[in-house]
Structure formats: C-alpha cells, structure tokens
Chains A and B, each alone.
Chain A
C-alpha cells in the first residue's frame, strides 16, 4: 500500500497548526494576530476563532492532520477549559500532537512558573505567559518541530 501517511514527516512538508480561543471566551483579536503571523511564517493554519469547545480543536486537528494545536484563553477560565485536553487528543489518536497554550490563563496574580507547571502537567508542551512575543512562539515551534524529527518530545528551553 502506498505510504502516503509518511508525507507529514518529510522535512519540506508545510506544518499545519490549529488555532482558536477555548471555552466561552470571545477575545478573538490576539488570536487572529497570532494566526496571521503564523501564516506569514509559512505555516498552514486552521483558525477556529472564538467560543471554541475543546472537542472542536481535536476534530479540526484530525481532519487537517495538524502538527500542533495552539489554544488561547484570555478570560481567566483556561485551567477549567483545558483540563483533559491532552487526554481528548489521545482518545482521538493524536497522541503526539504538539500542544501550546497561552494568554491570561488563570484569574488573579500568581507566579508564572506555578501557572506554567499547571499546564505542563496537563500535557501541554508549552505555555505562553501574557506578553509573550510572536517571535518567541515561532522560535519554539521551529525548535520543537526539529526536536520531534529527532524523536524528542520538545526542544529544551
């Protein structure tokens, strides 16, 4: 049988990313800017927009054979909305998909390392603090995809 499903692993393959704002969150502007920047950087982006249930991220990723899902949450309910996200991915056969989350992830002032740990423990590969530059995210993506080629979970640092 032709091994067409090996194509996503070819180095020159254009990576596909799914972006969206999770839960009952209507803050779309930042996510739209991020999506445009990702497209400009050469990624194929499936944009889900605001008010996106967790399951819809997974459905979009299955259909587009996405390489990464980038979840935005700006309204402080991110922890609740993102619980079980990695498990949903595993359930849908997306065991190894790269998962990023970013925004104002929790209500109130907490030290960032604590917040980051919550999301990394949930199975996200990266969590972006408020104010993270697009360039940083692009750098993470490039390095993490390169690390994946070498069989690593994600790049260091």
Chain B
C-alpha cells in the first residue's frame, strides 16, 4: 500500500493541499478550495479535499496530515525592544524567523500612545525584549507595566534581560506570559532560536485555536507552524540536506506575494575576504526579511514608487501613462488577474522590480571607510555573493512566461556595485509550490522531504553576468 502524506496550507485566499507518495517521493496530486477561516474553515477544507479526491480518484490513508497556516491575517506580531538597532532589532528578527507577520515594532520606553497603537494593531502575540542579561531592566519593566495595565488580551512572550524576568512575571501575572531566553543575552550576541521556538509553540497551542483553524481538526493531525516558517524550513532542508544526502549548499528563496515580498537565506554570510570588516548586529544564518511595500497586488503602487514609474513602464515596454492607468485599476481590484498583453507586461515588470528591490535589501552591502592608514572595506549585513542557489516560489514567478528573467533580478549587477547579491548561483523554480509542503514533511520524514523537494525543483537557465561588473571588482580593489 502507498505510504502517503497530506500537507495542507490554510492560506489567506486558498486552502491548498498536496498529497505525497512517501515511498516514490512524488506528488500524488493536489487539491484547492477557498479560504473560509472567517466563516467555517471546514467549508474550504472540504472543497479542497473533494478537489484532491477528484484528481486521485479516491483518497489514500494518510500516515501524516500536517498543516501550516497564514489564514485570518497570519500570525500577527508586535515586537518591543530597547535600543532600535540592538534588542529591538533582535526581537524583530526572532518574530520574522518564526514566520510571523510583523505588524508593529517598538523601541525604548513605550508611551501611552504606543500602547493604544498596539491595541489597535490587535496582535496575536507580543514579543517583549530589552536589555542584555544583567543590563538595563528599568525600561523593560516600565514597558511590562504599561502592557499589564492595558487592555491587551494576547499572549506575551518575554525574551529580555534575564535579571528582570521575575519582576516581569509579577507585573504581567494577569496575562498569558511565556518567559524564554534573552534574544540578546550579551551585547551584540544574537540568540533568537529559543524565542523563535516559543513563538511557534504559542502559535500551535493557542493561535490555531483562537483563529478557529482547529475546527478542521478531523482533517489534520497538527498545524505545525505559520506558512512562512514552513517555507523557511523547506529552504533550510534544501540548503543543508540530511545525513547522507547533500542539499544545494547555501540557498536563497524569493517569494513575491500579493501583499509582501519575502526573502529567506540560509548562509552564514560572513565576509568572503579577510580584508573586509563586518560591522553591526551579527546576522542569523537562517534569515527572513519581509518587504511590506513590495506586493504584486496590494502594494503594486509602492513597487512603482520605489522603482520609478518611468523605469517600470520602460521595462514593461508600455507607455508610462498606460502603466499609471493599469496600476490605478490594480488598486481598485486586487483580485485581478492579467488579461491583456499590457497587463501581462506590467505584471512582469512589477515582479522583476519587486525581486530586485527585495533581494537588494536582504543582502548586505560594502562601504569604504577612509582611515589614516588608507581605505578599509566594511560590510553591513550578509555577504551572499558566493551563494550556491536561488529558488523562486509563489504564483508571480511560477506563472511568469520567463521566470529565469525574474530570478535574474536577484543577481549582482552593476546598478548596485556595492551590494553583496549572489553572483553566479544556480536558479531554480518551485513550480509545484512544494517548498512549504517539504518544510512541513521534514518534521517527520526529512529524507523523503528532501528528495521530494530536489526532485521537483525545476532548473532555470540564465545568462551568467559578466564578472567585470558587480561586487567582484570591488572585492579586488
């Protein structure tokens, strides 16, 4: 009998299913239904199961039925830290790494206005950090006190100064509080894994129920994580491989969505040259960035703003006036699929611009600092110039007539010579939208998940760029 697994994604628009043959490491079939979490999640789930059954001609017995969810607004999180570039940034990275949708980030002492804002944001979890262990506790205690006195009902994860944990627990005694390790126990030491794990656990234990996702419990064994975290797990699996089976090496996943563009990288990103000095907060090896102003539908206007409407129109090969008109249409109907040749051309220009910007922001940069002893090269962020593989996922890339050209925008070029973007990675397409499924499956069957992922990625051709341009030349200077 076929050993099968069912992987479910409760998305914001669709409920998506992938049925996997674990023995043959292949996709048995897919199913899709609407997302109905706001009314009754079972309606969409049933429709998706019926769709899958139609494709398969009957449903196998599933050994595993794992789900991820970004439904009902995703995992909405607010982070609070002390110094913006230090514990507040560490908290932000922990939340993003847990697959959250970051709706607000705060630093220093909260004001009553901040508290009102946090309440308006209706977060699912607040991550409270601040102070290194034994460091500043006055601010985090003041912030805990303000949160305690507020109308906030969601769980609070405390990942701040360990020395203040007892007092924070006392202050927040009336709330659901989970205390974990400090996101920055020592100055400039990043420790986001424990907070990330706790956030995921709170998501499983509470948020899944609070959002009504567990009403479809009869159809799954567990909701393991938010969908962005599942994609990240898929990226990690593809990069690192499993014992006895190599992965792709260092990997980046680019996911331009309707509202945001996500970029994940699995690579340490340290300076490639001993001559370069890395500055700033240490970078997590597995890093996720979310660009809230780069979305193919909800934020198409801001993509145009960032790229410049003239440049966008030129890339699309259409008149700027026409591009403006089409963008205005998109703003009124975000569900619109491209129909005319101009629509398609504009969509392609939008996704290329989104990928270009999002990857440029995700990757680090070089800066030359002039000292009394000559110029010194300083690196901010991750050096991904030697990256092995870039993977594109999501509808905007998969449905593109030229996905290679879209992913090509992730590569180093001479427009941003100081940007540490990948120079010559292999390019891959997640055509079957399997990354999330493999990320989920990795929890139980890592080897099958890896083989499935590697077997279904489609290699894309691209024109390698000349090494005369881009960061190669700077490195040698």
Contacts and interface: CB of A to CB of B under 8 A. Distances in A.
Interface of A: 1-2, 4-5, 7, 14, 16, 18, 24-26, 44, 46-48, 50-51, 59-60, 62-66, 75-77
A64 B372 contact: no
Interface stretch (B60-68, B120-128, B136-144, B455-463): B136-144
B242 to A, nearest CB: 37
B187 A60 contact: yes
A62 B138 CA distance: 11
Contacts of B113: none
Given A51-B277, A63-B187, 19 more contacts: A1-B141, A2-B141, A2-B170, A4-B137, A4-B141, A4-B164, A16-B134, A24-B370, A24-B372, A25-B371, A44-B134, A51-B371, A59-B83, A60-B187, A62-B83, A64-B134, A65-B134, A65-B135, A76-B372
Given A2-B170, A59-B85, A63-B86, A26 B376 contact: yes
Nearest to B376: A26
B134 A14 contact: yes
A4 B186 contact: no
Q: Which of B167, B184, B370 lies at the interface centre, i.e. has the most chain A CB atoms within 10 A of its CB?
A: B167
A24 B163 contact: no
Interface string B133-174: 011111001000100000000000000000110110011000
A17 to B, nearest CB: 11
B145 A63 contact: no
Interface string B175-198: 000000000101110000000000
B163 to A, nearest CB: 7
A65 B166 CA distance: 18
**Chain A to chain B: the 3 pairs with minimum beta-carbon distance, closest first:** A46-B187, A64-B135, A65-B136
Contacts of A60: 86, 187-188
Interface of B: 82-83, 85-87, 130-132, 134-138, 141, 145, 163-164, 166-167, 170-171, 184, 186-188, 277, 279, 369-373, 376, 378
Contacts of A62: 82-83, 136
Contacts of B135: 16, 63-66
Contacts of B83: 59, 62-63
A24 B376 CA distance: 9
Given A7-B163, A25-B371, A46 B188 contact: yes
11 contacts: A1-B171, A2-B167, A5-B138, A24-B370, A44-B134, A51-B277, A51-B279, A62-B136, A65-B137, A75-B372, A76-B372
B134 A75 contact: no
Contacts of B136: 62-65
A123 B21 CA distance: 71
Contacts of A77: 372
A69 B439 CA distance: 46
A63 B83 CA distance: 6
Contacts of A65: 131, 134-138
A4 B163 contact: yes
A77 B163 CA distance: 39
B282 to A, nearest CB: 12
A26 B275 CA distance: 12
A21 B82 CA distance: 24
A90 B86 CA distance: 19
Nearest to B371: A24
A59 B281 CA distance: 12
A74 to B, nearest CB: 9
B87 A63 contact: yes
Given A7-B163, A46-B188, A65-B135, A24 B369 contact: yes
B131 A63 contact: yes
Contacts of B163: 4, 7
A25 B371 CA distance: 6
Contacts of B141: 1-2, 4-5
Contacts of A51: 277, 279, 369, 371, 376, 378
A132 to B, nearest CB: 22
Contacts of A48: 188
A4 B171 CA distance: 12
Contacts of B187: 18, 46-47, 60, 63-64
A14 B369 CA distance: 36
Nearest to A58: B83
A26 B323 CA distance: 50
B40 to A, nearest CB: 45
Contact of B86 (A5, A24, A26, A59): A59
Q: Which of B131, B166, B187 lies at the interface centre, i.e. has the most chain A CB atoms within 10 A of its CB?
A: B187
Contacts of A16: 134-135
A4 B160 CA distance: 14
A77 B164 CA distance: 40
Contacts of A47: 187
Nearest to A74: B372
Nearest to A77: B372
B88 to A, nearest CB: 10
Contacts of B371: 24-26, 51, 75
Contacts of A14: 134
Nearest to B137: A4
Contacts of B134: 14, 16, 44, 64-65
Nearest to A66: B135
